[in-house]
Chain A
Amino acid sequence: MGRKTRILLLIASLMLIVSYFVPVWKVLLDAPQYPEGLGLQIWLHTITGDNPNDLNKINNLNHYIGMKVIEPDAIAELKLMPYLIGLMILGGLLIAWRGGRRWLYLWVALFVLLGIAGMTDFYLWEYDYGHNLDMENAIIKVPGMNYQPPLLGSKKLLNFTAFSFPAVGGWMIIGAVLLGTAGACLEWKAARQPEVVEK
């Protein structure tokens, strides 16, 4: 494996380490009554408010429409994610150190699959919160209305406009995938070159 590829993979692994310490995704809510902002930060291991009391405020607002209370401790994916990313880091570092073209392809493929699985899970989670409402106790009922936040981009939800986008940690993960893919491409090209001097 080329020196370049190893460095790319090393950087990708370090970027993944960073994603432990910063939020991965943000869902921001905008309404005239909230000039100070309101939103959620999704971390690898938990969900917090964008400001200190935001989770509390959002849960209180959600009771009007019968939405379930967001309890970060009850979300299984948040328990799993740190380990999955941990495995990717470990694998990345190992491949950067020991080499192994095929291992690299596998790493990239797994990572892409993990990304797709993660986004699908996030979508389903949003779907569940947005659709499975407690209509018995909902105060505001709008026929045909669901409150699923957007996966990416913005969407109007009653008086709020919701924005959903990757945060620093998310960009780190996206960057890691791209670097890994770039490394794999380099290796792919190198493998197809007829017998150049390889160290």
Chain B
Amino acid sequence: MINVSLIKKRLGLILFAGAVIFALVIACSTPQQLGTATDDAAAKVYVAPGSYDEFYGFFSGGFSGQVTVYGLPSGRLFRVIPVFSQNPENGYGYTEESKQLMMTSHGFIPWDDAHHPELSQSDGVPDGRWLFINANNTPRIARIDLSTFETDNIIEIPNSGGNHASPFITPNSEYVVASTRFSLPIPQKDVPIAEYKQHFKGTISFIKPDVDGHMELAFQIMVPGYDYDLSHSGKGPSYGWSFFTCYNTEQANTLLEVNASRNDKDFIAAVNWKLAEQAIAEGNYTTMNTEFYRNYIDHDSRIAHSERKSEVRVLDPQKVPGLVYYLPTPKSPHGVDVDPSGEYIVAGGKLATVIPVHSFSKMIKAIETKQFEGEVDGIPILKYEAVMAGEVQNPGLGPLHTEFDGKGYAYTSAFISSEIVKWKLGTWEVVDRVPCYYSIGHLMIPGGDSKKPWGKYVVAMNKITKDRYLPTGPELAHSAQLFDISGDKMKLLLDFPTLGEPHYAQGIPAEILMKNSVKIYPLEKNQHPYAVKSEKEARVERQGKAVHIYMTTIRTHFVPDNIEGVKVGDKVYFHTTNLEQDWDTPHGLAVQGANTSEILIMPGDTKTLIWEPKKPGVFPFYCTDFCSALHQEMQGYIRVSPANSNIQISYNGR
């Protein structure tokens, strides 16, 4: 790589002109020259072998349906956490223990579009207990246990379409929220689409993250049929409120890019969830029949269970005055971000020429003095001038989303002008801007949406990479760019490819999280009904056409490893318990002809693979995870006889 400034220094005055021409040619022919990092960047992102990164970064996978875990500042990928998509790499979504997590009112759904990871918080600060993430397509919220990095809950959101403004959390993890990006007929019914304004409604949902280990839908608020886009909760003085952007207040039902961009202003909905709780407690709600699934991993057996639910409590803003207010906000706002103090509510008006900032204290005063300019379905619309704290002028084109550094500055991504704009809270002046390569969507500062940002880095999540990496055909990686924000000026440090399409990320200091990380599952606590705790208990049992193999793995063998008496037409369950109690000693299991994925079994855990043999013969199975020097010897055979054969079940136990 050729650095312009270095060339200037090395060559003398005489060569100066030539060097400039040369540099211009290089700059024009290789556009990535524009995005080169600063001189000390390498040292700032270098994490020596065996050393740890300072932060965990959790990135959503977008259409991959998963979460990826990177170290920051190194940009090293540690893990992909499967959430809404089946993962043949470890059997998530294929095994009998995990399939039920993907149950919905539409049946089993092995994929979704996962947008916004959100860390659990205590007192407004990420605490490292859970990570939540939304499913956009078939509305759901998942909870990931950060001691195991496993998805342990998925709850479906009824009366919703496009769960986008989700799962933003309240400061003490009282609730995570959900809402309708696509309004729908509620309850669903067969109506002409053109009757949108008449039939379509939106909902805003509040979900309790942990009631006896499970997520629970607490209540829904019925709201006008707009598109609810993003959210953040209040904190400090604005504690008890949640804010939601909405666009398409035109209520268009076709060609939204034009028809939903007509209004000069759309809204931010301010929801008083403390008042909602009070209304629920007073019985001021209706119970609506609906259908949704609540799925969770049972803590003892580590098997996923599905519960079908049929009721939801619904609040009507007309009957609960003060529950919702609309704050007029320019031009189809996307992000709504509350600064660390809890006073400022920043909107990202995708098509606006300014960044509007609302003041919470002015909002409360405007409510008290009834500064309303209208009302929709019982929801008062506050006057823009009465709630506005200021506008950031010339903030870049297409401002989307803002995070904070905790030192009085805000960082807004601008999609169209492909840059991050740094501006000062209170004076609203732009103080710095850096280009992003290319087309930044969201950005993330560790803790940057909390009360206490760790304002050392900002990560840009870019939608387009084109020539930034070696070409890989038409389908290219998205990218993340890491900037140092410890000084006055943002400095590009690192550029790394990402998986899927990260829409948002969360960061947390490693020291908060890593100490809780589980190394093994204690065998004595394994309550799986098909677990075996020693090789002596390993066995095979026939129950009609079901054959249950209670199998064990330990370096470097299966017990049993020869099984006979299985017949064509049987359903064979390989219930496999990994007897290892050592750190980092998984075993895998794959069976020839299995119409499913392999399974990976962590130490002390039990996982089940189903195999349905279709023809007689002898078929091998083996360990898929290189577990020891004799891993290649970790294998076995299962014999399949014709359906009418009389061969009894036999096996070699211990």
Contact = CB atoms under 8 A, between A and B. Distances in A.
Interface of A: 36, 53, 56-57, 60, 64, 139-140
A139 B557 CA distance: 12
A57 B630 CA distance: 16
Interface stretch (B56-64, B410-418, B578-586): B578-586
Most chain A CB within 10 A, of B554, B583, B629, B630, is at B583
A57 B582 CA distance: 6
Given A57-B582, A60-B582, A140-B629, 12 more contacts: A36-B583, A53-B520, A53-B581, A53-B582, A56-B581, A56-B582, A57-B581, A60-B554, A60-B555, A60-B580, A64-B629, A139-B630
A60 B580 CA distance: 9
Interface string B616-654: 000000000000011000000000000000000000000
B622 to A, nearest CB: 18
Contacts of A56: 581-582
Contacts of A36: 583
15 contacts: A36-B583, A53-B520, A53-B581, A53-B582, A56-B581, A56-B582, A57-B581, A57-B582, A60-B554, A60-B555, A60-B580, A60-B582, A64-B629, A139-B630, A140-B629
Contacts of B630: 139
Contacts of B582: 53, 56-57, 60
Nearest first, the 5 A-B pairs at minimum CB distance are A53-B581, A57-B582, A56-B581, A36-B583, A139-B630
Nearest to B633: A139
A174 to B, nearest CB: 33
Most chain B CB within 10 A, of A53, A64, A139, A140, is at A53
Interface in B502-533: 520
Interface string B217-232: 0000000000000000
B526 to A, nearest CB: 14
Interface residues of B, number: 9
B625 to A, nearest CB: 15
Nearest to B554: A60
Nearest to A49: B581
Contacts, number: 15
Contacts of B580: 60
A139 B520 CA distance: 26
Nearest to A63: B555
A139 B634 CA distance: 13
Main secondary structure on A side of the interface with B? loop
A53 B555 CA distance: 15
Nearest to A139: B630
B632 to A, nearest CB: 13
B195 to A, nearest CB: 65
Interface string B568-601: 0000000000001111000000000000000000
Contacts of A139: 630
Contacts of A57: 581-582
A53 B521 CA distance: 11
Most chain A CB within 10 A, of B580, B581, B582, B630, is at B582
Most chain A CB within 10 A, of B520, B555, B581, is at B581
B654 to A, nearest CB: 13
A145 B555 CA distance: 22
Contacts of A60: 554-555, 580, 582
A79 B629 CA distance: 38
B22 to A, nearest CB: 50
Contacts of A53: 520, 581-582
Contacts of B555: 60
Nearest to B630: A139
Contacts of B581: 53, 56-57
Contacts of B629: 64, 140
Interface in B388-412: none
Nearest to A53: B581
A60 B582 CA distance: 10
B146 to A, nearest CB: 20
Contacts of B520: 53
A117 to B, nearest CB: 35
Contacts of A64: 629
Nearest to A55: B581
Nearest to A38: B582
Contacts of B554: 60
A140 B580 CA distance: 20
A60 B583 CA distance: 13
A53 B520 CA distance: 10
A57 B583 CA distance: 10
A8 to B, nearest CB: 45
A38 B554 CA distance: 18
A51 B554 CA distance: 19
A67 to B, nearest CB: 15
A64 B581 CA distance: 17
A140 B628 CA distance: 12
A119 to B, nearest CB: 31
Nearest to B603: A53
B145 to A, nearest CB: 21
A57 B603 CA distance: 12
B525 to A, nearest CB: 13
A168 B140 CA distance: 56
Nearest to B50: A35
A106 B581 CA distance: 48
A57 B629 CA distance: 16
B523 to A, nearest CB: 9
B395 to A, nearest CB: 49
B628 to A, nearest CB: 8
B587 to A, nearest CB: 13
B633 to A, nearest CB: 9
A53 B582 CA distance: 7
A64 B631 CA distance: 13
B603 to A, nearest CB: 9
Interface in B464-502: none
Nearest to B520: A53
B46 to A, nearest CB: 21
A65 to B, nearest CB: 12
Interface in B531-557: 554-555
Contacts of B583: 36
Nearest to B604: A53
A150 to B, nearest CB: 24
A140 B633 CA distance: 13
A177 B629 CA distance: 47
